[in-house]
Amino acid sequence: MITEQLQKNKSVFRSILENVDEEFIHWRPRPDKWSLLEIVCHLYDEERLDFKFRTQWLLEQPGILPPPFNPLDWVKSHKYAEQNYYTILSKFLNEREASIQWLKSLKHPNWEHTYTHPQKGLISAKHYLDNWLAHDYLHIRQIIKQKFDYLNANTNESLDYAGIW
């Protein structure tokens, strides 16, 4: 079930995001890419302001379009680059735990509740739940790639022996 996997992913995120070098927290693979700090801020905001919010909205208010937002705007409006990495990481992990507890507390949710999005058409609560998990996987992959790129940028050794990324 998705709730159990979201809970497992909390441990994955903790494992790959705790105890990282200060330099790595702010390092970018390219100027137009996010730092690890910005990724964690994004995860925190998405957890509370997107996936949980929209899933809950649809379960409680089917047929009603939720308010619009743009997560890319949050990078500046929420001052991602100025946040404390470990504070935000803790907030994200705590928020994930709250999300898991909320999902587990649901009694017979109707995952088929929908609303009609002006551009995307019919969207269900199940759509948000599935995409919540997919979002985890995308960012777990992104973080692992960032770690690989950071190692590659900071070693004088060829990493070809390890295999092709």
pLDDT digits (tens, 9 = 90+) for 34-89: 999 999 999 999 999 999 999 999 999 999 999 998 989 999 999 999 999 999 99
pLDDT digits (tens, 9 = 90+) for 96-112: 999 999 999 999 999 99
Question: CA-CA distance, 76 to 82, in Å (whole number)?
Answer: 10
Other C-beta atoms lying within 10 Å of the C-beta of residue 124: 17
Average pLDDT (18-23) is 95
Structural domains of the chain, ranges and CATH numbers in brackets: 2-162 (1.20.120.450)
> pTM to 2 decimals?
0.94
